């Protein structure tokens, strides 16, 4: 019997160290993926599942590291069971090879999805509240309004978008997008 672990972080800035530390000593293989949970394709996840043979155990540190929703979690656990493969959530010591483990797994899956959806809803509400208060969200613009005004004047005199973009140190599409952004265009047109 092999224990094959799946480890996932959503971004390159996140570190899988906590999961690796928790699974290294109890698993035979660690498969690490950097990818959002909602991605349609999860090549490392799929490869880890293909490595499993009847009698093996698929192990994750946290439930939300492997599955997108309750339905996904329960469906995958059932597919594994039909293949004769167990499933374990290490930090909760849940093993779906037992009836009690499967019951707890079902409840934990529902709670994990509730938590994920609640967090998503709160984030959206917070962003909307910030927008209503006039906060600008996202990355700051690469091109300042005064630079854009200068670029617009130079364009009227015959300069090319490509040459102006190079002068500003941005890609031509960044300059084009900035030129047509309503908040900037309104500011520039009043000058």
Distance CA 93, CA 131 (A): 43
State the SS3 of 63-93: HHHCCCCHHHHHHHHHHHHHCCCEEEEHHHC
**Phi first, then psi: what are they for 31, rounded to 5°?**
-115, 115
Considering 10, 109, 120, 174, which one is annotated as catalytic?
10
Q: What are phi and psi of 176, to 5 degrees?
A: -60, -45
* Eight-state DSSP code of residue 168: H
Q: Work out the number of other CB atoms within 10 angstroms of the CB of residue 84.
A: 12
Strand partners, 88: 59, 95
Tokens encoding 13: 């800035």
For 123-162, the DSSP string reads HHHHHHHHHHTTPPPSSPPSS-HHHHHHHHHHHHTT--HH
Residue 11 to residues 35, 55, 140, Cα–Cα distance (Å): 6, 33, 21
Q: Can 10 be counted among the known catalytic residues?
A: yes
Q: What is the set of active-site residues?
A: 10
């Amino acid at each position: 019997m092999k224990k094959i672990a799946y480890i996932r972080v959503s971004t390159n800035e996140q570190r899988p160290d906590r999961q690796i530390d928790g699974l290294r000593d109890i698993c035979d293989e660690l498969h690490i993926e950097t990818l959002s949970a909602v991605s349609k394709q999860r090549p490392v996840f799929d490869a880890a599942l293909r490595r499993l043979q009847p009698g093996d155990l698929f192990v994750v540190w946290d439930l939300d590291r492997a599955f997108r929703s309750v339905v996904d979690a329960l469906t995958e656990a059932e597919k594994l069971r039909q293949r004769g493969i167990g499933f374990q959530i290490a930090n909760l010591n849940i093993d779906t090879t037992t009836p009690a483990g499967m019951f707890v797994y079902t409840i934990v899956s529902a709670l994990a999805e509730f938590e994920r959806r609640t967090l998503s809803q709160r984030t959206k509400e917070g962003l909307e509240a910030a927008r209503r208060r006039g906060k600008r969200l996202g990355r700051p613009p690469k091109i300042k309004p005064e630079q854009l005004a200068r670029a617009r004047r130079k364009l009227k005199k015959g300069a090319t978008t490509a040459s102006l973009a190079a002068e500003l140190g941005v890609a031509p599409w960044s300059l084009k997008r900035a030129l047509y952004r309503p908040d900037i265009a309104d500011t520039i047109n009043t000058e």
